Structure formats: C-alpha cells, structure tokens
C-alpha cells in the first residue's frame, strides 16, 4: 500500500481526481468503478466538471462497488447518487455504465449477473471509502478475506451512517446491500481508498497500526501493492508513525 497524507478534504478529493484523470487520459477505454457516500462527493464534482471540459467521458466504462437493496430511486441508492452527482451533470454520456440492480426481486440472479460482468471486465480503478468500523463496501467486520460479491447485512453503525448521509429516518435506512467482495475489489489495477475527517481516525489507526484482521476489514489492504490510501490530516491524527 502507498499512503498519501494530505491537508484536508479538498486536497484528498483533488489528489484522487488527478490519479483518475490521468488513467482516463492514458487509456483507450478506461474502466472506473466508483463508490458513493459522503467521502467522494468532492471527487464527483471534480469529475463532472472535467467531463464538461476537456476530459472525455464517452470512452469511459463505469461500474459500481455496491448497491443497497431497495427501490431504485430511494434517496440512498447508488443508482440515484451516480445520476445526481455525475451523469445528470454532464452533457455527454459515458461509453457504458453497468450497476447492480438492488431492486431486482431475484437478487441471487442479479449477483450472478454482476459477478459475470466483473469476471469479464478488467477494472483500471476502484474507488473506496472507509466505514467508521473499518468496512470497505459492505465487507463488514468478520467478513472473510476471500469474499466474492455477495448480499451483506449492515452493521448498526453502517445503517446509522446511511441514515445520516441521506438525511432519512433510521427506520427508512436499508440494512442490506450487494457488495463486491475483497476479491473483486483487489482485482482493480489501482484501488484508491479515500478517508477524511476525525470521525474516521480510529478506523485509520486500526487499518495502519493494528493487526491484519477481519475485525478491521480494510487492514487486509495494507500489504497490497495496488492500493493507494489517500487520507487527510484529521483522519491521520491518531497514527503513531
Ligand atoms: P462515507 O462512507 O463516505 O459516507 O463516510 C464511507 C463508507 O462507508 O464506505
């Protein structure tokens, strides 16, 4: 893992944006797999802006890390977030966007379909955020490190974070999502783990200073060469070294 510590949220967004921008510029048909939530909002703004200027969205294939189980246009879905924070803001369309259908009745069949997509699509970039409990995607504490795409139950802290992020009542927050496993996440050429703010400092300390253990899912990324962790000073504030 390469660790990059930047000053603040803006610099974290900018640093991540630049890495993605360079990959999009260099590759013929780059495949970018995004995460959603609070952490990448600044990154999405920068991407939307660049796609309306000199960065070519028409050659980009988009995929997603995960999707909540629920109505497609519920306030928290990855589907809605991707539209509201990117596709609705950009005048041109990407080459393709294949997302997980969290409203599919036969969810096992949908998981199989998306697994097939992932098995046949080499990803250049996977963007990740970090949960306060150390999760990545919905690989919550206790998930085996050999996980592949699956239907996950959320920890209570994750349900609370979702309710908070999307300004909804906790009773309306989803408690399950389909998520890539560690296997698919780590298949990307570059995995960008973004972390900002003091509320993530304990999780960051566990990722970098604690044991590599399923108790802190993201600790598994620590010895992986294709992972770049981009964190701000507040998120790094409890680190020893
Ligand atoms: P957040 O979530 O970006 O909304 O803090 C991070 C995550 O749970 O992956």
The residue among 192, 237, 232 whose CA lies nearest residue 6 is: 232
CB 160 near ligand 1, within 6 Å: no
Minimum CA distance residue for ligand 1 atom 8: 131
Q: Find the angle CA(126)-CA(83)-CA(163) to the nearest 5 degrees.
A: 80
| 70 C-beta closer than 6 A to ligand 1 | no
Tell me if residue 131 falls in helix, strand or coil: coil
165 lines ligand 1 (CB under 6 A): yes
Whether the per-residue pLDDT at 194 is higher than 80: the answer is yes
- Rounded distance, CA 69 to CA 152, Å? 10
> What is the rounded CA–CA span in Å between residue 57 and residue 35?
17
Cα of 130 from ligand 1 centre, angstroms: 5
Instruction: List, in sequence order, the alpha helices (H) in 30-174.
Output: 41-51, 78-85, 107-119, 156-165
> CA angle 222-119-195, nearest 5°?
30
The pLDDT tens digits of the residues spanning 70-115 come to 999 999 999 999 999 999 999 999 999 999 999 999 999 999 999 9
Q: Name the strand (E) or helix (H) holding 191.
A: strand 190-195
Rounded CA-CA distance 126/193 in Å is 8
0.95 surpassed by pTM: yes
- Catalytic residue, chosen from 67, 140, 155, 234, is 140
Among candidate residues 44, 60, 213, 214, the one with its CA nearest the CA of residue 129: 44
What is the structure's pLDDT at 61?
Answer: 98
Percentage of residues in the chain with pLDDT exceeding 70? 100
Q: Is 155 a catalytic residue?
A: no
Q: Indicate whether 241 pLDDT > 80.
A: no
Tell me if residue 11 is catalytic.
no
What is d(CA 99, CA 36) in angstroms, rounded to the nearest whole number?
Answer: 12
Q: What are the DSSP calls for 192-232, one per residue?
A: EEEE-SGGGHHHHHHHHHS-S-TTSGGGGGTT-TTEEEEEE
Task: Let me know if 22 is a catalytic residue.
Answer: no
Q: What is the mean pLDDT of residues 215-219?
A: 98
Q: Is 133 a catalytic residue?
A: yes
For residue 205, give both structure tokens: 């300390």
Q: What is each CA distance from 239 to 11, 139, 208, 223, 231, in whole angstroms? A: 19, 23, 8, 17, 11
pLDDT at 240: 87
């Amino acid at each position: 893992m390469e660790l990059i510590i930047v000053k603040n949220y803006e610099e974290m967004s900018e640093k991540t944006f630049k890495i993605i921008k360079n990959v999009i510029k260099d590759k013929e048909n780059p495949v970018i797999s995004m995460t959603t939530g609070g952490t990448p909002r600044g990154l999405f703004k920068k991407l939307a802006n660049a796609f309306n200027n000199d960065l070519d969205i028409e050659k980009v294939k988009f995929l997603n890390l995960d999707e909540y189980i629920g109505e497609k246009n519920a306030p928290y879905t990855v589907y809605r977030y991707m539209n509201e924070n990117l596709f609705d803001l950009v005048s041109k369309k990407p080459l393709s966007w294949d997302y997980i259908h969290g409203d599919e009745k036969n969810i096992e069949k949908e998981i199989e379909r998306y697994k097939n997509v992932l098995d046949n699509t080499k990803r250049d970039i996977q963007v990740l955020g970090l949960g306060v409990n150390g999760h990545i995607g919905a690989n919550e504490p206790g998930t085996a490190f050999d996980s592949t795409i699956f239907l996950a139950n959320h920890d209570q802290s994750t349900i609370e974070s979702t309710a908070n992020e999307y300004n909804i009542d906790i009773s309306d927050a989803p408690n399950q999502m389909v998520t890539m496993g560690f296997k698919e996440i780590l298949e990307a050429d570059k995995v960008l783990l973004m972390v900002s703010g003091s509320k993530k400092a304990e999780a960051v300390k566990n990722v970098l200073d604690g044991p590599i253990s399923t108790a802190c899912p993201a600790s598994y990324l620590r010895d992986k060469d294709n992972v770049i962790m981009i964190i701000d000073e507040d998120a790094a504030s409890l680190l020893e070294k």
